[in-house]
Structures are given as C-alpha cells and as structure tokens.
Structure 1
Amino acid sequence: MRIRISWPAGNLTATLDAGTPTTRALAKALPLASTARTWGEEVYFDTGVSVPRETDARQVVEPGTVAFWTDGDALALPYGPTPLSQGTECRLASPCNILGSLDGDAGLLATVRDGDPVRVELTEE
C-alpha cells in the first residue's frame, strides 16, 4: 500500500505493509488532515486512529521509517536523532508499530515546520 504525505513545503510517498492491523486501521481513516509536530528530527501528527501496540513494536528505527505511535494515536516519521537518541540513532518516544518506509529522501521532512498542515492520502503511484 502506498500513501502520500503532503505539507506546504513538499511531499513524500511511503510504502506500507498492508498486512499489519495498524496499516489496515490507518487506511480506513484516509484521507486525513492533521497538524504537524516536530520533536528533534522527527515529524509526528495525530491520525484519529487508536490501535494497540503490536508485538514487534520498536523504539529505535532507521531514518525514513513510517511508525505509528500508539501512545499518541500518531504517525511518527523520524529522519534523524530525537531528544532521546544516543548518538545518531532515531529513537522514538516509546515503542511504535512499524508500518513501512518513506520512498526517497527522508531528509525532506526537515522542511516541515511545527504547526504545518499535513495531509495523508492513498496514492496509486
């Protein structure tokens, strides 16, 4: 499954694993509009979707991972270190469900500003 994440300064697509319960719940909520928040080199935003933490949830992930933060009902998109990181790792606030990864340069997320409007929709590309 592919989604497009758009904000005023740009957009990225992501490929998600359609087999996870969290991805299926998110897909049912699309398209969605939200407000971006930033935390170090991570963008996250509320989805209005509430799901439990999956057994393979992780806190340390690769840049460009599309994660679902169950504690905040939010998509979490890390592209570099966060305030909890040790060194250059991407450490999320708590273990998150892993949905997939961004297509292309996750560094584009640096153009997202706290408070920016964000839109997430399914894409055919």
Structure 2
Amino acid sequence: MRIRILWPAGQATATLDPTPTADALWAALPISSSASTWGEEVYFETPVSVPREVGAQQVVEPGTVAFWTDGDSLALPYGPTPISRDGECRLAGPCNLLGVLDGDAGVLRTVRPGDPIRVERA
C-alpha cells in the first residue's frame, strides 16, 4: 500500500506495511485534516480510531509513519520532539507503526501548523 501526503508547500509518499491500523487508514482514504507540529514531528487527526497494537513504539526512526491511538492521529516524525533524548525521534506515547516515508523525511520541515493536509492512495 502506498500513500501520498500533500500540503501547500510540498508532498511525500510512503509505503505502508500490512497491519490492522494501516488497513483501517487505507479504507478511510482519502482524508483531509489540519496539520499540527510538535518539535520535528507533523501530526494530524484522522477519522480512524483503532486500539494500540502489540509492538507499538515511542522511539522511532525519522520518516516512520506512525499512528497515535490516544489522539486518532497520524504522526510523522523527522527529528527530535520536545521530549526526545540525544536527538532521537520520541513520540508523545507508544504509536502503532504503519510504514516508512519514501526519500528524505526532512521534506516535512515545510509543513506549518494549520496547513491543510490530505492523505490519498498513491
């Protein structure tokens, strides 16, 4: 499964793994939301609501496509957040892992809080 994430200043694509959360997100596409940022992480609400999966993680690699179950939100870290230690990507809490952005996750630096954001099948 491949998705495209679009915002006014750019776009990114990602490859999703076959997980229950990725399947639920795929079924809900396309979705539109409003971007928020937290340190070097972009996140936004989705209409998807799923439980935390076994294997959910709080510390991930830059470019991980994660789903924050506590906020029904997609979380896209590209660097440290306010609670990171030693430059790691530490999410607000354990998140379901959906896949990985294709290419450089640094493209997310162009997302501004409040930007309209759309996720669609690629």
With the length of structure 2 as denominator, give the TM-score of the two structures.
0.99
Count of aligned pairs: 122
- SS for the counterpart of 1:60 is strand
Runs of 4 or more consecutive aligned structure 1 residues displaced over 3 Å after TM superposition: none
Q: Could you tell me which residue of structure 1 aligns to residue 84 of structure 2?
A: 85
Residue identity matched to 1:62: E
- CA drift of 1:54 comes to 0.2
Is 1:21 the counterpart of 2:20 in the alignment?
yes
Q: Could you tell me which residue of structure 2 aligns to residue 9 of structure 1?
A: 9
Cα separation, 1, equivalents of 2:83 and 2:51: 23
- CA drift of 1:48 comes to 1.1
Cα separation, 2, equivalents of 1:66 and 1:50: 16
With the length of structure 1 as denominator, give the TM-score of the two structures.
0.97
- CA drift of 1:65 comes to 0.2
- SS for the counterpart of 2:62 is coil
- CA drift of 1:34 comes to 0.2
Identical columns (%): 75
User: Alpha carbon RMSD of aligned pairs, Å?
Assistant: 0.4
Cα separation, 2, equivalents of 1:84 and 1:50: 25
How big is each residue's C-alpha offset from its partner over 1:38-91, in whole Å with a ceiling of 9 and x where there is no partner? 000000000110000001000000000000000000000000000010011000
Cα separation, 1, equivalents of 2:115 and 2:61: 24
Residue identity matched to 1:70: T
Cα separation, 2, equivalents of 1:23 and 1:41: 23
Is 1:121 the counterpart of 2:114 in the alignment?
no
- SS for the counterpart of 2:23 is helix
Q: Aligned runs of 1:52-91 on 2, under 5 Å?
A: 52-91=51-90
Is 1:47 the counterpart of 2:39 in the alignment?
no
Q: Could you tell me which residue of structure 2 aligns to residue 100 of structure 1?
A: 99
* Structure 2: 5+ residue stretches without partners: none
